[in-house]
Amino acid sequence: MHRSAAPAITEIPVSDKQAGPYGIAAGPDGALWLTYVHSGRIARLTVGGELTDYPLDSAACRPTVITAGPDGALWFTRSQDHRIGRITPEGAAASYPLPTPGSGPFGITAGPDDAMWFTQMNTDRIGRITGTGDITEFSLPTPGGFPSAITAGPDGALWFTLNQANAIGRITVDGHIAIHSLPTPDAAPVGITSDGTALWFVEIAVGQIGRIDVNGRIAEFPLPDRAARPHAIVAASTADCWFTEWGANRIGHITVSGEIAEYDLPSPSCEPHGITLGPDGALWAALETGCVARLVP
């Protein structure tokens, strides 16, 4: 594990500090899409830096995590008004209320069944929504588990973090659920990604990166700075993952052997949250203080 000199990193201003760019995803249109958690907006950012804002129907809806769907649109969670949002590359937006009141949706991903799957933090459920807005909910066996991020795994199932249950969950498309407890107590997992072979996740409370294979075997890799508070993670390729260090103002990189490199962001205290692999092969991260960072490995 080592600290490395920064590769090419640039920061692109996209908002003021009050707007809060939080989630980021590569869209089917070759652009990056952002959620503005504090101002109820979605934005489209081209790799050349052109920015277009799309206000949502509620400034207080708290759009959080965003991802591309199988229908050519972007789907996102609205954690404050408990809806799932959808926006086309042309900016036409819609939203769908969840059946369970106060559910607090957070993570969202495209499933292997042409539907979107999402977590419900407040009500211990995993949700599924079709392209026409039909919603199914699956109750988890972990009261107070706080399901957070979710991703499609290499085994045709969905994998998710249970932030307060200290576990990684797995759900099949027909609703079968398995729970895998983490070796480190009170690790508080958040972000999760698939590299096509295994799942990688961050442990925000203890400063570690975890890896779980499809059979449930878990490995954990401590960061050099255990107070770094890793938040989101994305796989660039097999065993090649990048993550944000929200508490340390850095972007990190980990390989399958557990070798870790860290790169300081140019602006101090910029609060990096979501991270994605862009259409240009660079890593893009949303900085909650008002910028997007682009890192060229």
Catalytic annotation, residues:
273
By CB atoms closer than 10 A (0-12, 13-18, 19+), residue 158 is buried
Q: What percent of the residues of the chain are helix, what percent strand, and what percent coil, each to the nearest 5?
A: 0, 50, 50
Query: Position 283: which residue type?
Result: L
What count of other Cβ atoms lies within 10 Å of the Cβ of residue 112?
15
Q: Please name every residue paired with 117 in a beta bridge, in sequence order, or none if there are none.
A: 109, 128
In b/e form, how buried is each residue of 178-190, taking b as 16+ CB within 10 angstroms?
ebbebebeebbbb
Q: How far apart are CA 288 and CA 271, in angstroms?
A: 5
Here the tokens at position 197 are 């072979």
Could you tell me how many residues make up the chain?
297
Interacting residues of 210 by C-beta distance below 8 A, sequence separation 6+: 168, 182, 187, 189, 200, 201, 202, 203, 218, 219, 220, 221
Residue 48's alpha-carbon distances to 10, 32, 60, 152, in angstroms, are 12, 10, 30, 30
Q: Which helix (H) or strand (E) holds 273?
A: strand 272-277
Q: Please name every residue paired with 52 in a beta bridge, in sequence order, or none if there are none.
A: 44
